[in-house]
């Protein structure tokens, strides 16, 4: 590695120890081994950054190997997408390889296994095999076909290869140990019959190797020195090593499998199966939908390779699975775009502003800075005229004292332009504001250096000249799921947490400098956030995707919901001290309103779990959550927990807590659960 001192993560420590123990630096080789059965997601991006980053640090080659052993799910489309994503992230592989390159060698080795009595053809059904395999606490028993003769096994295996049998009739199993405490070592499957067309080998094969058999042997054939996998493969390491033991030549490099923790991202899913479900069921518009956690989706939304690589480096490598808040990823893209994105003006919810004392027909081209964070970004010209659009929320006819935008009798500055003062409004037949009339201070032009231009006002608004404005479709994306961990709740389908407001499309207006904006060009819409040009954009119809806001709106929302929970618990304390039914009713209504503000299922669930104890305040709170929230119900908890809850409520010292069990909603839910309905 670089001579510059740095703190090594445990993966780097493993490599350093191997080098100290005699492994030659020129024998180092890494790989990124995706299965081409879907698009890469943010978890893969972290693995890519790890493996290719090691290649860069150690000046070692990194293979891109497609583990294409399941033709039922794999497609050339996914191969192409994976290659495109890896290159977009800024990495280049040494060799492009495929597990299918080794099908003949794997088959030949399997034949040798049979000849040495280390593999056999099993003809049980999948149900019979599951029964004889045992459980983690009970030993397995031998298959009735385990002691078939070598000749019979060779004959059956060749006929399997030749396509003489239907799928599911036979498999090839390694002969290891049916009593092993590691279930994976109980005669694992090496080959199954699949009459499926393969995206590379066509119909040449009717049998395909299992991942555990192909993976380690592919590493060995490629002379990969270190095979890094996520933690779910830790139990597989024993099998990985056993397979290598059977074919290893000590004159060659022996691959070493080691595991690191999966980095899950909040408010999304990173299972390819679940991502495919979102695509197939039309919850999103394809694998590259900007709400998806796929690399393609993030790219289309406006994320940059730098931001994703920085995210991977920031969260690092760990030994335990962890949930990374999506705000960390959002921080990385804000930080990157703040340095690189040009500032422009756009209005997404327009209301017409007429500057009544500005000459009709006059226009000015004012100077605007492109990016104050980049001294080389320069300036551009923006047109100004008598009529402009401003954001509707930037005006209130009757504004409170702390409203720092435009109102009647109040002054604000129009960005890069003049100071204006609200004078009056024009309303439509329904009473909605159709126009705002204002006057401007002719001597207050921004940057002119006049005394008037230096005058302090309460706020600065962005705007677009109506005569020059370009209409644009703006897609306002939000988090795809309302819950931070949508696929971790055993009692609920992850699709129940799909955010109905994850996409809103509006027609906005942008300044004319954006007429020539191209796909994936990125901008900061001043005061609104960062936006990127979508691939659907054309010269006649601009389309922008919201990448991220200037601030984390979800952090503020989360704090409000946590405060609602905490305030409810504080208020319930008073419930047991007041003396009248009216006072108690008022307290319950206050708590009910707070509970109804909370939309985060995980927060509600954890709040209930924390408050199932003998404390009367806690028990009353948990019962009120069920009573007043439409986001959670008793069936979202396991029966043992609910029985404990019911028992504690029933035996509570407080009659108010016991009375909650008479509440019709709670009583019915408890009854249904107790009956297993």
**Predicted confidence (pLDDT) per residue in 531-555, tens digit:** 999 999 999 999 999 999 998 877 7
Distances (CA, A) of 222 to 212, 217, 283, 348: 16, 9, 40, 54
Give the pLDDT confidence score for residue 3 in this predicted structure. Answer: 43
pTM here is: 0.86
Rounded to whole angstroms, how far apart are CA atoms 129 and 584? 62
Written as six digits, the tokens of 24 are 């030659």
> 375, 379, 355, 356: which is closest to 367 by C-alpha?
379
Classify residue 261 as exposed, middle or buried by CB count within 10 Å of its CB (0-12, 13-18, 19+).
middle
Contact at 8 Å (CB) between 225 and 254?
no
* 35 carries an active-site annotation: yes
| 148-189 confidence digits (pLDDT tens) | 999 999 999 999 999 999 999 999 999 999 999 999 999 999
> 211, 224, 205: which is closest to 104 by C-alpha?
205
* 20 carries an active-site annotation: no
Selected catalytic residue, list 12, 27, 35, 584: 35
Contact at 8 Å (CB) between 477 and 546?
yes
Contact at 8 Å (CB) between 156 and 172?
no
Residue percentage of the chain with pLDDT more than 70: 97
CATH (residue range 346-461): 2.40.240.10
Rounded to whole angstroms, how far apart are CA atoms 581 and 336? 57
Give the pLDDT confidence score for residue 426 in this predicted structure. Answer: 96
Give me the residues paired with residue 159 across strands.
none
> 304, 190, 308: which is closest to 242 by C-alpha?
190
| 92-142 confidence digits (pLDDT tens) | 999 999 999 999 999 999 999 999 999 999 999 999 999 999 999 999 999
Rounded to whole angstroms, how far apart are CA atoms 165 and 207? 10
Rounded to whole angstroms, how far apart are CA atoms 82 and 44? 10
Rounded to whole angstroms, how far apart are CA atoms 552 and 560? 13
Distances (CA, A) of 214 to 150, 221, 286, 292, 622: 22, 10, 31, 30, 51
| 269-325 confidence digits (pLDDT tens) | 999 999 999 999 999 999 999 999 999 999 999 999 999 999 999 888 888 877 888
* 217 carries an active-site annotation: no
Give the ranges where 294-411 is alpha helix by DSSP (H). 295-301, 305-315, 326-340
Rounded to whole angstroms, how far apart are CA atoms 273 and 279? 10
Long-range contacts of 515-520 (CB under 8 A, 24+ apart): 515/470, 515/539, 515/542, 517/542, 520/299, 520/302
Selected catalytic residue, list 133, 175, 272, 301: 272
Confirm whether residue 375 is marked as ligand binding: no
SS3 265: strand
Give the pLDDT confidence score for residue 375 in this predicted structure. Answer: 85
Looking at CATH, the fold of the domain delimited by 102-211 is given as 3.90.800
Confirm whether residue 657 is marked as ligand binding: no
What confidence category does residue 674 fall into, taking pLDDT thresholds of 50, 70 and 90? low
Q: Do domains 102-211 and 346-461 have the same CATH topology?
A: no
Give the pLDDT confidence score for residue 520 in this predicted structure. Answer: 97
What confidence category does residue 605 fall into, taking pLDDT thresholds of 50, 70 and 90? confident
- Structure letter (DSSP) for residue 408: B
Rounded to whole angstroms, how far apart are CA atoms 273 and 276? 5
Q: How many residues does the chain have?
A: 677
Beta strands 350-355 and 433-440 are parallel
Give the pLDDT confidence score for residue 672 in this predicted structure. Answer: 55
What confidence category does residue 216 fall into, taking pLDDT thresholds of 50, 70 and 90? very high
Give the ranges where 162-253 is alpha helix by DSSP (H). 211-222, 237-247
Chain center to CA of 280: 18
pLDDT higher than threshold 70 for residue 69: yes
Give the pLDDT confidence score for residue 573 in this predicted structure. Answer: 84
| 190-199 confidence digits (pLDDT tens) | 999 999 999 9
Give me the residues paired with residue 478 across strands.
none
Confirm whether residue 270 is marked as ligand binding: yes
**Which residue in the block uniquely carries the two structure tokens 């107790």?**
674
For 160, residues 6+ apart whose C-beta sits below 8 A from its C-beta are 121, 170, 172, 191, 193, 206, 207
Rounded to whole angstroms, how far apart are CA atoms 289 and 301? 8
Selected catalytic residue, list 31, 65, 161, 262: 262
Give the burial string for 153-175 (b: 16+ CB within 10 Å, else e). Answer: beebbeebbeeebeeeebbbbbb
For 455, residues 6+ apart whose C-beta sits below 8 A from its C-beta are 419, 441, 444
Distances (CA, A) of 327 to 266, 304, 322, 333, 488: 9, 16, 15, 10, 19
Beta strands 529-533 and 542-548 are antiparallel
Rounded to whole angstroms, how far apart are CA atoms 501 and 505? 10
Q: Which CATH class is domain 272-340+474-551?
A: mainly alpha
Chain center to CA of 518: 26
Confirm whether residue 37 is marked as ligand binding: yes
What confidence category does residue 575 fall into, taking pLDDT thresholds of 50, 70 and 90? confident
| 478-531 confidence digits (pLDDT tens) | 999 999 999 988 888 999 999 999 999 999 999 999 999 999 999 999 999 999
Q: What is the mean pLDDT of the chain?
A: 92
SS3 225: coil
Give the pLDDT confidence score for residue 42 in this predicted structure. Answer: 94
Rounded to whole angstroms, how far apart are CA atoms 542 and 547? 16
Distances (CA, A) of 395 to 353, 415, 527, 651: 10, 15, 15, 57
Residue percentage of the chain with pLDDT more than 90: 75
Classify residue 585 as exposed, middle or buried by CB count within 10 Å of its CB (0-12, 13-18, 19+).
exposed
Confirm whether residue 36 is marked as ligand binding: yes
pLDDT higher than threshold 70 for residue 385: yes
pLDDT higher than threshold 70 for residue 2: no
Confirm whether residue 272 is marked as ligand binding: yes
Confirm whether residue 211 is marked as ligand binding: yes
Rounded to whole angstroms, how far apart are CA atoms 238 and 343? 55
Confirm whether residue 271 is marked as ligand binding: yes
Contact at 8 Å (CB) between 36 and 100?
no
Evaluated on CA atoms 565, 566, 569, 575, the torsion sign reads negative
Distances (CA, A) of 12 to 253, 371, 485: 18, 39, 30
Rounded to whole angstroms, how far apart are CA atoms 226 and 14? 9
What confidence category does residue 668 fall into, taking pLDDT thresholds of 50, 70 and 90? low
Confirm whether residue 67 is marked as ligand binding: yes
Q: Where are the domains of the chain?
A: 102-211, 272-340+474-551, 346-461, 555-675
pLDDT higher than threshold 60 for residue 75: yes
For 537, residues 6+ apart whose C-beta sits below 8 A from its C-beta are 517, 519, 543, 544
Q: What is the distance in angstroms between the CA of the first residue and the CA of the last residue of the chain? A: 61
């Amino acid at each position: 590695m670089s001579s510059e001192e740095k703190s090594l993560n445990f993966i780097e420590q493993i490599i350093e120890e191997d080098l100290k123990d005699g492994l030659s630096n020129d024998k180092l080789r890494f790989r990124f081994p995706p299965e081409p059965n879907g698009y890469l997601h943010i978890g893969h991006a972290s693995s890519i950054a790890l493996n290719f980053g090691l290649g860069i640090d150690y000046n070692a080659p990194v293979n891109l190997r497609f583990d294409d052993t399941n033709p039922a799910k794999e497609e050339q489309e996914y191969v192409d997408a994976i290659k495109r994503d890896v290159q977009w992230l800024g990495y280049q592989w040494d060799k492009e390889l495929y597990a299918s390159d080794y099908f003949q060698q794997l088959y030949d080795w399997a034949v040798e296994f049979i000849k040495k009595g280390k593999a056999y053809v099993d003809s049980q059904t999948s149900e019979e095999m599951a029964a004889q395999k045992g459980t983690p606490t009970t030993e397995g028993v031998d298959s009735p076909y385990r002691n078939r003769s070598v000749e019979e096994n060779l004959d059956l295996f060749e006929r399997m290869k030749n396509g003489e049998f239907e799928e599911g009739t036979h498999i090839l199993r390694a002969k290891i140990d049916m009593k092993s405490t590691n279930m994976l070592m109980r005669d694992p499957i090496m080959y199954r019959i699949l009459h499926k067309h393969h995206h590379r080998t066509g119909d040449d094969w009717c049998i395909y190797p299992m991942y555990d058999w192909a993976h380690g042997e592919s590493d060995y054939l490629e002379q990969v020195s270190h095979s890094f996998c996520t933690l779910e493969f830790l139990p597989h390491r024993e099998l990985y090593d056993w397979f290598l033991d059977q074919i290893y030549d000590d004159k060659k490099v022996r691959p070493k499998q080691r595991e690191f923790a999966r980095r899950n991202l909040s408010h999304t899913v990173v299972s390819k199966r679940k991502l495919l479900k979102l695509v197939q069921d039309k919850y999103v518009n394809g694998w590259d939908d900007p709400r998806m956690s796929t690399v393609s989706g993030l790219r289309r939304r406006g994320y940059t390779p730098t931001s994703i690589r920085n995210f991977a480096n920031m969260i690092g490598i760990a030994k335990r699975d962890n949930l990374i808040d999506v705000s960390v990823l959002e921080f990385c893209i804000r930080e990157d775009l703040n340095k690189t994105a040009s500032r422009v003006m756009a209005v997404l919810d327009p209301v017409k502003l007429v500057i009544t004392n500005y000459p009709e027909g006059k226009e000015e081209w004012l100077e605007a800075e492109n990016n104050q964070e980049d001294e080389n970004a320069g300036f551009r010209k923006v047109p100004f005229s008598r009529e402009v659009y401003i954001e509707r929320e930037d005006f209130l006819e009757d504004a409170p004292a702390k409203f720092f935008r435009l109102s009647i009798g109040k002054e604000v500055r129009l960005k890069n332009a003049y100071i204006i003062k609200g004078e009056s409004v024009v309303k439509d037949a329904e009473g909605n504001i159709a126009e705002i009339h204002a006057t401007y201070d002719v001597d207050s032009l921004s940057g002119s250096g006049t005394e008037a231009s230096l005058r302090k006002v309460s706020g600065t608004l962005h705007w677009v000249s109506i005569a020059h404005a370009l209409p644009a479709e703006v897609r306002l994306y939000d988090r795809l799921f309302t819950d931070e961990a949508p696929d971790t709740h055993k009692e609920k389908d992850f699709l129940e947490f799909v955010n109905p407001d994850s996409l809103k499309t509006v027609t906005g207006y942008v300044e004319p400098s954006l007429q020539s904006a191209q796909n994936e060009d990125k901008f900061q819409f001043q005061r609104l956030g960062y936006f990127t040009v979508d691939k659907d954009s054309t010269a006649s119809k601009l389309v922008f995707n919201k990448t991220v806001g200037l601030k984390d709106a979800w952090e503020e929302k989360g704090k409000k919901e946590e405060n609602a929970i905490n305030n409810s618990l504080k208020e319930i304390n008073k419930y047991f001290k007041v003396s009248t039914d009216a006072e108690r009713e008022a307290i319950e209504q206050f708590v009910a309103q707070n509970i109804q503000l909370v939309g985060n299922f995980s927060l509600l669930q954890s709040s209930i779990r924390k408050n199932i104890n003998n404390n009367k305040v806690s028990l009353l709170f948990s019962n009120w959550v069920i009573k007043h929230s439409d986001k959670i119900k008793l069936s979202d908890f396991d029966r043992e927990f609910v029985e404990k809850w019911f028992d504690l409520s029933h035996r509570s010292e407080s009659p108010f807590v016991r009375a909650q069990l008479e509440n019709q909603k709670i009583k019915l839910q408890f009854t249904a659960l107790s009956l297993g309905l």
